[in-house]
Amino acid sequence: MKINIPLSEWTAHSSLRAWIGDAIRKCKPKSVHLCDGSSEEFDKIAAEMVKKGSLVPLSKRPGSFWCHSHPDDVARVEECTYICSKSKEDAGPTNHWREPGEMKEHLRSLFSGCMQGRTMYVIPYCMAPFGSPLAHVGVEITDSPYVVLNMKLMTRMGKEALSQLEDGEFIPGLHSVGVPLEEGEDDVPWPCNPKERIIVHFPEEKSIYSYGSGYGGNALLGKKCFALRIASVMAKEKGWLAEHMLILGLTNPEGEKKYIAAAFPSACGKTNLAMLTPTLPGWKAECVGDDIAWMYFGKDGRLYAVNPEAGYFGVAPGTSMKTNPIAMRTIERNAIFTNTAYADGDVWWEGLSETPPPNLINWQNKPWDGKSPAAHPNSRFTVAMAQCPALDPAANDPAGVPISAILFGGRRHGVTPLVVESLSWNHGVFMGASLSSESTAAVKGEVGKLRHDPFAMRSFCGYHMGDYFAHWIEMGKRGAASKLPRIYSVNWFRRDSKGKFVWPGFGENNRVLKWIFERTSNRAAANSTPIGYLPAPEALDLSGLTVDLQSLFSIDQSAWKEETEKLKSYFQHFEMHFPKELEDELQCLEERLS
């Protein structure tokens, strides 16, 4: 077996060396590559993948590549994702659970010899800016070169991350595509093993195992596995928050700047909002992060947020110069495109242009038939955030940015108005716990079905979600009451009786954010309603825009009463773990509606 650097020279960390050695003995790779995170390393691995046929260089996007996955390895697989806490009750009703000892025995069987004929890559990476009080080092072991390239773009990976470790703890993650190769056996462009696919988290041990998938959050273990499922447990233990939220900086025409965090289920417009191009004159928007926020209370009593990631793994379909010009400029070079369509040295997807280019190759590397989707609905681009032309100057600030408002939103045809301000912190937590959204292609399964997705964390909370709600309640007591962020519900996706969207969305969302911005300084008027504060007449800047305010803000009493009954039934799933404070909020809502 070959190794590119003597392990003792690569790190002096004894427990890390021992863990790597154990993985080598268990997985039996043909060679080991200890990653340094350099551009030279990236280019070499990419060239090897091009030679193998796994990547296609894009002549029209310098430094960029196109690839396509196995047809059954295209999204997160919640049914194969487990939280193996010591107690089943600690995992809660929103997670799949198996007894840790039983699961470890199963994993031992799966990983035994799983990297035969392949190179094992060892990837050190840091989540959150170097020097941040929330920064943590992870190490992913994988047999997928695709994972190495994406982790290079998505995280602070390599020597500097390893140097942060010193003698401290790290989050171990072991990943394999689950397809060992016999001597002389040819590989396939996208190796995976859907029949044995499994993603496992041990919250008490803070460890991650992933087998059988090479795609997205199933394989890039720093993303959902570490930064949300494991980090949410760490955050509860240490008194901070790990959230499925974008972070956006907003500056008004007078030069005043504020930051918001916003939680939306995957493929519900987080990246579009994070890279907002304001339509109102004089407003400026800058992106800190588009997917995950780690937040803590500073010494001044304010809530601060850092983006633990260093890149974007964005949904491609629907992204265009009209909907998200910032994203389009970000991915002009040095990007990886997965499961989009391909033609003449460039990529394409539905929504990119009105007409597709000729001779289009679909996401399965076959000539497009003109009927089925050319790009998979969950096709993605991966790119470093440093390329974003609207990157916030504080995106790499170790201290993070102070949060003035928190938004919760999903896809709802009706019921939920365009924007509602909570009556209090606890009422805002109730809003987050009540969040429902129509499912999207980001998760394998039925698309368009309404499902509860509290805080947009249903798939990502690493412990009992009832305890997670209680943690949010307790966090509200940690900060200075007068400095707590205000909390809002938003719904860009409301439709009229004919099924048409009532709100134009995208850059026009700046108008809603302006009202929120001014509300946090008590400069915008609002009217009290049974469900919270709505913008007062004329308070929402609609200059130059014609919309039906009645359709955007009407409150259907009967629909809301039905909503409360559904919530009452849903909250029963959390049994004794459901906080009394939220029971009180539900009761108060019922009383206000009556």
Residues taking part in catalysis: 268
Q: What is the DSSP letter of 454?
A: G
List all residues 6 or more positions away from 255 whose beta carbon is below 8 Å from its beta carbon.
none
DSSP labels, 379-408: -EEEEEGGG-TTB-TTTT-TT-EEEEEEEE
> Beta partners for 402?
304
Cα(197)–Cα(77) distance, integer angstroms: 9
User: With the CA atoms of 200, 201, 202 and 206 taken in that order, what torsion angle do they form, in degrees rounded to the nearest 10?
Assistant: 140
What is the CA angle 116-120-126, rounded to 5? 155
Distances (CA, A) of 242 to 177, 208, 231, 462: 28, 17, 6, 10
Phi, psi of 304, deg, nearest 5: -110, 145
Cα(382)–Cα(512) distance, integer angstroms: 29
Strands 198-202 and 81-83: parallel
Q: Give 504-521 as a 3 state SS string.
A: CCHHHHHHHHHHHHHHCC
Cα(151)–Cα(156) distance, integer angstroms: 8
Distances (CA, A) of 566 to 320, 448, 491: 37, 18, 19
Nearest residue to 144 (alpha-carbon basis) of 175, 117, 171, 172: 175
Distances (CA, A) of 204 to 234, 267, 357: 9, 31, 51
Q: What is the DSSP letter of 501?
A: B
C-beta atoms surrounding 402 within 10 Å:
17
Residue 547 tokens read as 């919309």
Helix H or strand E encompassing 146: helix 145-154
Q: What is the DSSP letter of 357?
A: P
Cα(408)–Cα(292) distance, integer angstroms: 14
Distances (CA, A) of 158 to 168, 212, 215: 16, 25, 21
| CB contact at 8 A, 100 and 84 | yes
| CB contact at 8 A, 440 and 267 | yes
Cα(20)–Cα(157) distance, integer angstroms: 17
| CB contact at 8 A, 555 and 530 | yes
| CB contact at 8 A, 440 and 519 | no
Task: Supply the angle between the helices 145-154 and 39-52 in degrees, to the nearest 10.
Answer: 140
Please give the single-letter amino acid code of residue 568.
K
CA 184 from chain centre, in angstroms, equals: 39
